[in-house]
Structure 1
Amino acid sequence: MRVVMLGPPGSGKSTHARLLAEHLTVIHLSVGAALRDEVAKQSPLGERIEATVAAGELVDTADVLAILETRLVGATGSGGWVLDGAPRTLTQAEALDDWLDDLEAPVECVIALDVPDSEVRSRLLQRGRADDKPDVIAHRIQVWQHDGGAVLTWYETKRRLVRVDGVGDVADVARRVIAAVERF
């Protein structure tokens, strides 16, 4: 199974992608973790990513795909994956779909975690990462509403999108996510 987990920042994508991957016994691929690893390496790519993320902007499509390429090829060969943190723009969705189609491993299901903006703000402020400042959070929510909406529409027209209520206890949301994938 090849699943993409989408939602606004702080919606629980990584948590629920990890839990779903465990349930499906496939690999969890977190773009956020991959980007943070690249930043920690202090490579030129990592420095560019760090500046972009600190400003609350989205990482360039080519950089995201470069980071994902090896990971997705390996995970596809091992039986499947749950990807969180990408695609974040329509351009990324189109490029990712084209690339995965070339691998003959298209996205099969896209889970969209629906979480209200007020809940997202609260979660991000509690999380306390360096880039989780009120002005950056507000900007990231605005970017998600604009760009994320286009990505959701893209997958909805391809009949791959399933919306899941992302508010509540982690175990309850996880059950909803697993049930959505199993119904798909």
Structure 2
Amino acid sequence: MILILLGPPGSGKGTQAQKTARQLAVPHLSVGDLLRKEAAKQSALGKQIGASLKQGELVSEAITLQIVRERIQQTDCENGFVIDGFPRTVQQAQTFNKLLNKLRRKPDHVLWIDVDAESLLERLSGRRICPNCKAIYHVKFRPPLKPGICDRCGQILIQRSDDTPSVIEKRIRQSLTEMEKLKSFYHAQGILRTIDGNREEWQISDEIMRIIRNVRLFMTIEV
């Protein structure tokens, strides 16, 4: 199964993608994490990625597609994957479909997690990340047991360079403009579902799994 989770920055798509991937026993591919991992290598490609991330700009489509192409062709993705943070534009979605077609695959579901702009700003500005195990916290909504320390591995939590208010507002504006076009693209294919992201985390998770189970049941009956 190939599941795409879409939503503006701070919508919780990364957290939901992790949980859903565990439930489906497939890899979770965070394109944002893949790009940051490459940036940390300080290679020529990584430096280009790092410069874009620090300025709150989208990484070029050519670079992003290269990173995604290499990752989905690894053996652990043979039975499917859950991907978030990609695609970001209609052009990326079209190219991604072509890439999957070559591999004789296609997206099964595309889920849009809808959250209002004011909530997004509050969520992102208070978000903290563990640089080691990638656990996500929030100073207000999901604080660690010890302030500033990861519950899982004990590392010091950090605030991403693109989680500052000025960069956040820029990211939200860019994201929502492109996402409206992207939603229309997937809606036309009949695989888009919209989920209210202004609820508790467990409620969103339950709805995602209900959607997946219902579609699977429908497909089984049709066959």
**TM-score, normalised by the number of residues in structure 2:** 0.79
Residue of structure 1 equivalent to 2:143 = none
Aligned length: 184
Deviation at 1:183, TM superposition (A): 2.4
Which stretches in structure 1 are left out of the alignment for 5+ residues? none
1:5-154 matched pairs, under 5 angstroms: 5-74=5-74, 78-127=78-127, 128-154=159-185
The answer (yes or no) to whether the contact 1:165–1:176 under 8 Å persists in 2 is no
Give the share of equivalent positions with the same residue, in percent.
Answer: 36
Secondary structure in 2 aligned to 1:106?
coil
Tell me, in whole angstroms, the C-alpha distance in 2 between the residues paired with 1:170 and 1:26: 20
Deviation at 1:162, TM superposition (A): 0.7
Which stretches in structure 2 are left out of the alignment for 5+ residues? 128-158, 216-223
Higher RCO structure, 1 or 2 (CA under 8 Å, sep 6+): 1
Secondary structure in 2 aligned to 1:50?
helix
The answer (yes or no) to whether the contact 1:4–1:111 under 8 Å persists in 2 is yes
Q: Between Structure 1 and Structure 2, which shows a larger proportion of helix residues?
A: 1
Partner AA of 2:42 in structure 1:
Q
Deviation at 1:21, TM superposition (A): 0.7
The answer (yes or no) to whether the contact 1:164–1:180 under 8 Å persists in 2 is no
What RMSD over aligned residues (CA atoms) do the two structures have, in Å? 1.3
The answer (yes or no) to whether the contact 2:26–2:82 under 8 Å persists in 1 is yes
Higher Rg? 2
The answer (yes or no) to whether the contact 2:88–2:178 under 8 Å persists in 1 is yes
- Cα deviation 1:99-131 (Å, max 9, x = unaligned): 111111111110110111111100000013211
The answer (yes or no) to whether the contact 1:53–1:59 under 8 Å persists in 2 is yes
Tell me, in whole angstroms, the C-alpha distance in 1 between the residues paired with 2:88 and 2:194: 16
